[in-house]
């Protein structure tokens, strides 16, 4: 059985790529390959540049990371937790995304990769548990870990691959090679997940228009087993929102920080316009912890799961902790929540109502059912007399 090798985690960001402009639809295959090659060369040449660096800022903690609290960024338990999360980045040299000739997603796939990270880490919770760590990855845990990663490899046959995401995106008027927004990636992942539900045993619920209807959530979680009995299914809840016009409104900062302390938190896919990141925690009072998909790596070949080694999959873990001011976020983002059972759903509802769905500026709203307008008097017939 292959065993993962340990590696030292870097605490200072020493490599950050520039963000390439998202390409529009291209009809000429040769020109597509030329532009892709140029972008890849630029990426290789600029990955050593620092980005989001602030020499005047000194991290002091504490750290709230996906429902757990740590003393700071150098705390050993935090580093073990952080490096165990899955990291999905730009890849090159994968099979073409038919009918296009794209063999890399450099410059346009960052929101797709951020969405993959959110879903992949939800699967880690679901199949391996919140307490699973890469440093003790053996036995059945190793097998499940490999299975999760193969679901996201860059192949036409992987259920959540960049290939399938790009193709389903065409149903949402997104050409192959065009940047996605947070709402689009949430909807595309929902479509792809419908074909994977029986194997994953994980339901996926999308919150529309910023309002979570609890009766619809409960309906999503209830499934019939092989004997026809209704059983509760674990669920990933995705909430696409827009919290401001051109920039994130500061009134939401406090609620976003509280989100990372929720036991159900699986992170946020968001970032900056045309430049998505995956956020997993908060450091101190004003900085978020994230992993960055804008690093180009060699595509990993899809093969017999038993043949993978830890070295084959090491690029799916980020060795560097990065932070960014919360004020720099784009207002469009997707929140992720994982609930294993009915008790977790009840706890999620309780925490959400208390911390992020209350007051005059909630991150999103929550109600039992949709309003019933059938009996409302929409128009007056003139029989009510004078007011």
Which residues are catalytic, by number? 110, 292, 294
Give the residue carrying structure tokens 């207002």.
Answer: 331
Dist. CA 150–CA 73, nearest whole Å: 30
Decide: 309 and 302 in contact? Cβ < 8 Å.
Answer: no
| Nearest Cα residue to 18 out of 331, 296, 279, 332 | 296
Decide: 58 and 126 in contact? Cβ < 8 Å.
Answer: no
| Nearest Cα residue to 23 out of 167, 175, 147 | 175
Query: Which parts of the chain fold into alpha helices (H)?
Result: 29-46, 76-82, 110-123, 139-150, 162-169, 182-194, 197-200, 214-221, 253-259, 342-355
Could you check whether the bond before residue 215 is cis, i.e. omega within 30 degrees of 0? no
Per DSSP, the residues of 309-369 read: -TTTTGGGS--B-EEEEGGG--SEEEEEEEE-SHHHHHHHHHHHHHHTS-SSS-SSEEESS
Decide: 112 and 185 in contact? Cβ < 8 Å.
Answer: yes
- Compute, in degrees rounded to 10, the torsion defined by CA atoms 41, 47, 48, 49: 110
| 211-213 vs 365-367, strand pairing mode | parallel
Dist. CA 366–CA 8, nearest whole Å: 43
CA of 121: how far to CAs of 75, 220, 279, in Å? 21, 20, 12
CA of 14: how far to CAs of 34, 44, 47, 60, in Å? 29, 14, 9, 20
Coil vs helix vs strand at 165? helix
């Amino acid at each position: 059985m292959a065993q993962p090798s340990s590696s030292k985690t870097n605490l200072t960001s020493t490599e950050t790529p520039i963000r390439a402009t998202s390409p529009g639809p291209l009809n000429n295959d040769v020109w597509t390959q030329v532009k892709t090659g140029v972008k890849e060369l630029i990426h290789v040449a600029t990955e050593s540049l620092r980005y989001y660096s602030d020499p005047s800022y000194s991290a002091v903690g504490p750290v709230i990371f996906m429902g757990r609290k740590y003393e700071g960024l150098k705390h050993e338990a935090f580093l073990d937790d952080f490096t165990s999360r899955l990291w999905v980045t730009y890849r090159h040299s994968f099979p073409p995304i038919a009918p296009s000739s794209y063999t890399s997603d450099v410059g346009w796939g960052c929101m797709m990769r951020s969405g993959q990270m959110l879903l992949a880490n939800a699967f880690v919770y679901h199949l391996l548990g919140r307490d699973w760590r890469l440093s003790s990855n053996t036995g059945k845990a190793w097998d499940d870990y490999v299975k999760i990663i193969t679901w996201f490899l860059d192949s036409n046959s992987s259920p959540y691959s960049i290939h399938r995401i790009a193709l389903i995106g065409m149903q949402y008027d997104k050409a192959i090679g065009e940047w996605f927004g947070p709402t689009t990636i949430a909807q595309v992942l929902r479509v792809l997940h419908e074909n994977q539900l029986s194997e994953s045993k994980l339901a996926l619920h999308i919150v529309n228009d910023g309002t979570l209807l609890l009766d619809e959530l409960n309906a999503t979680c209830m499934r019939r087993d092989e004997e026809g009995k209704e059983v509760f299914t674990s669920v990933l809840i995705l909430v696409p929102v827009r919290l401001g016009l051109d920039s994130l409104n500061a009134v939401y900062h406090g609620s976003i920080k509280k989100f990372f302390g929720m036991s159900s938190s699986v992170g946020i896919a968001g970032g900056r316009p045309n430049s998505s990141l995956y956020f997993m925690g908060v450091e101190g009072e004003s900085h978020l912890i994230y992993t960055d998909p804008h690093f180009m790596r060699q595509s990993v070949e899809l093969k017999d799961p038993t043949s993978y080694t830890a070295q084959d999959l090491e690029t799916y873990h980020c060795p560097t902790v990065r932070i960014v001011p919360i004020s720099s976020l784009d207002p469009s983002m997707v929140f992720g929540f994982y609930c294993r059972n009915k008790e977790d759903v009840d706890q999620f509802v309780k925490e959400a109502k208390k911390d992020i769905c209350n007051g005059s500026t909630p991150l999103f709203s929550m109600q039992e059912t949709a309003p019933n307008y059938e009996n409302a008097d929409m128009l007056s017939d003139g029989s009510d007399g004078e007011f």
